[in-house]
Structure 1
Amino acid sequence: MKKILFFDTSIGTLNIGDEIINDSIQKISEEMFSDDYIMRLPSRTGILNKFQLFYNKSFRQNFCEADLKFVCGTNLLYKNMLRPMPNWNINLFNTKVSEQSILFGVGSGNNSKEITKYTQMLYKRVLSRDYVHSVRDQATKNMLDSIGVQSVVTGCPTLWNLDEYKCSKIPQEKSENVLFTLTHYTTFRNYDEDKKMIQILKKLYRKVYFWPQSLEDLNYLEELDESTDVNIISPNLKSFDNFLTNNDTDYVGTRLHGGIYALQHGRRSIILAIDNRAREIKNNNNIPCIERDDTSSSLEKMIKAKWDTRILIEDDKIERWKQQFTK
């Protein structure tokens, strides 16, 4: 029996999208490590302080000496890790538990032109050199290539089970109902296009639903003054799951993993790209996606059109990555 440690990115976040990622990773890992002991620690918050590491050696060793350590998805890597609130809360003084970590569908953000010397030192200290890492997109692979860390583009783990058969069951034409999402972050707001999206949905669908994937998304909807005739789904993953399971609906919105979760439930989805994540995943995996800032000119046409959902999954790369851990 092996001890397997997962650094869970869904703890200490205000974005339920991280729960969606970790839900998929948990299902995949249960198949990969069905006979092993699974441990979890948060990636975003401090893990163990120096006193705790010193005080209980046997407790610490279970984590530090785990047979395999995986970091679970999301935008975790940055070119400059001297950030006030990193998604992977590591620095040169607290890496003991994180050493020899393996990336599991991890993506990256771009906050610097080049990887800083400090960040290179940090990654070389914590990232395993014994295994090939699984990364979400080509941009993340390029970053790791530049510092000599081997990786393979597997796509986001939320997509791994969206095979040709499952995609064939997703409707080609619009439903009578639609669920939409918004993104409240200041840098990603576009009042005109977000407002236009909701107006288009109200015009084309019989019933319109809204799911707040993050804490302030509902406030943003109210700021747009478009909440009239919009039905609110409770802001938790169970409610979202129940709604998608029991209702014939389309999905339209800026929340990337809200859209992928809808695809997992066999729902026709249009993801509106607002950042590099959706664009990179579209390039690698062909998710149904248009630019949010083109909503006025493109969204209505896409909703009315008939089209197939064809997610591209590189099964051979995923399987080769998994096979490393069966030896």
Structure 2
Amino acid sequence: MSYTLRATKREYNNWKKAFNKKKAAPEKPDFRRIGLMDPSIGTSNMGDFIIQDAVKSVLRETFPDSFVSTFPTQLSRKMDSVQLMQDQDVIFIGGTNLLASNMEARFQWKVTPIDSYFIPNKMVLFGTGWWQYQDKPNAYTQNLYSGLLSKSLLHSVRDSYSRDMLKSIGIENVVNTSCPTLWNINPAHCKSIQTSKASDVITTLTFYNKDFKQDAAMIKMLQQNYDHVYVWIQGFEDMEYLHQLAPDMKKIISVHPDLHFYDEILKRHNDIEYVGTRLHAGIRAIQHGKRTLIVAVDNRAQEIGKDTNLNVIKREDLDRALNFVTKPYVTDIQLPVDAIALWKNQFNKTSF
């Protein structure tokens, strides 16, 4: 049974037998059961925790009387998890770049046709994005998404590119809400962010998408223009990469690889701003009211920047960073507020 991919024939038959023997569902309780596919479970990327912080905040606001259960996206699941997922009224896919055009080869979101069989059309995208710029989804991926994703509820994606990719395969019930990490950054918040350069800067690197020449130039530019350069270690190998880029560590202070320590720097340091390659580290800085420039290393920041006026430059255009460093910059995030309201309000009108 090649279509089951990694699952063996025995596993599939056992799962099917358990599904067929499942007893009738008990009487529906007074509260809804909400499932959340959580990319931060088992992650080595602290940015996933920034996303989940926002996702869970919105779920608490939207479903205050519901019971939320979390399940991993990046780890394989067995039948006990699948049975629990069957009991959920709806299952949200909580952000990150989990979508791809070749899901048979891209296993960041570990779903297969088995999930389509046992949990058909129960999943709702929530601020989810496309992995990279790709060709139109292949037949396997089209069938997988058609079997997994709700056909009656609106899906939320984090950029126009992701929306258009889904629409290209006939999934029309989708809106671009941008990333939920931005949803609370309103005009009043933007106005509270200072426009002039800070004395210190906090930055990040992206070890899995290196450009030694450009990344070294960024670190050097920061060393030349700021009193101190804090480096938050967001990914597992970022520190090793930092030592390659700046072996003398001049002016550089490393920040421990935990969201708590990053938040502490942003909270207690009044004269610091962000310039770095990690998208959600930059958004977190804006959440804390810090002037921010994101140096994009892939499609995610570029696409969100196009849609929301998030301050993003391509890594190959690093010379533009000096404009941010030397001149005033006004933060002016523009959110798709109507699309956000449309997606959230649908849950006031449905019982799933």
> What is the TM-score of this pair, normalised by structure 2?
0.86
Query: Aligned letter for 2:186?
Result: D
Aligned residue for 1:159?
Answer: 182
Aligned residue for 1:92?
Answer: 113
Aligned residue for 1:56?
Answer: none
| Matched length | 315
- CA change 1:190–1:110 in 2 (3 A) is closer
Query: Aligned letter for 1:3?
Result: R
Query: Aligned letter for 1:269?
Result: T
2:142 aligned to which of 96, 120, 126: 120
The reply to whether residue 8 of structure 1 matches residue 30 of structure 2 is no
Query: Aligned letter for 2:129?
Result: G
CA distance, structure 2, for counterparts of residue 137 and residue 160 of structure 1: 13
2:218 aligned to which of 197, 212, 216: 197
Aligned residue for 1:313?
Answer: 335
For 1:275-294, list aligned pairs within 5 A: 275-294=298-317
* Runs of 4+ residues over 3 Å off in structure 1: none
The reply to whether residue 299 of structure 1 matches residue 329 of structure 2 is no
Deviation at 1:104, TM superposition (A): 0.3
Identity value in percent: 37
The reply to whether residue 23 of structure 1 matches residue 53 of structure 2 is yes
For 1:113-192, list aligned pairs within 5 A: 113-149=135-171, 150-185=173-208, 188-192=209-213
Indicate conservation of the 8 Å contact 2:227/2:251, yes or no. no
CA distance, structure 2, for counterparts of residue 163 and residue 99 of structure 1: 33
5+ unaligned residues in a row in structure 1: which ranges?
A: 54-58
Query: Aligned letter for 1:201?
Result: L
CA distance, structure 2, for counterparts of residue 293 and residue 203 of structure 1: 19
1:32 aligned to which of 59, 62, 66: 62
Deviation at 1:94, TM superposition (A): 3.5
- CA change 1:284–1:111 in 2 (3 A) is closer
Deviation at 1:193, TM superposition (A): 1.6
Indicate conservation of the 8 Å contact 1:64/1:98, yes or no. no
Indicate conservation of the 8 Å contact 1:273/1:289, yes or no. yes
Q: Per the alignment, in what secondary structure is the counterpart of residue 128 of structure 2? A: strand
Aligned residue for 1:272?
Answer: 295
Indicate conservation of the 8 Å contact 2:121/2:146, yes or no. no
Deviation at 1:300, TM superposition (A): 1.7
Aligned residue for 1:64?
Answer: 86
> What is the TM-score of this pair, normalised by structure 1?
0.93
CA distance, structure 2, for counterparts of residue 99 and residue 44 of structure 1: 20
Q: Per the alignment, in what secondary structure is the counterpart of residue 251 of structure 1? A: strand
CA distance, structure 1, for counterparts of residue 197 and residue 134 of structure 2: 41
The reply to whether residue 43 of structure 1 matches residue 65 of structure 2 is no
Q: Per the alignment, in what secondary structure is the counterpart of residue 94 of structure 1? A: helix
CA distance, structure 1, for counterparts of residue 210 and residue 147 of structure 2: 37
Indicate conservation of the 8 Å contact 1:9/1:18, yes or no. yes
CA distance, structure 1, for counterparts of residue 202 and residue 273 of structure 2: 6
5+ unaligned residues in a row in structure 2: which ranges?
A: 1-30
Aligned residue for 1:215?
Answer: 236
CA distance, structure 2, for counterparts of residue 110 and residue 91 of structure 1: 20
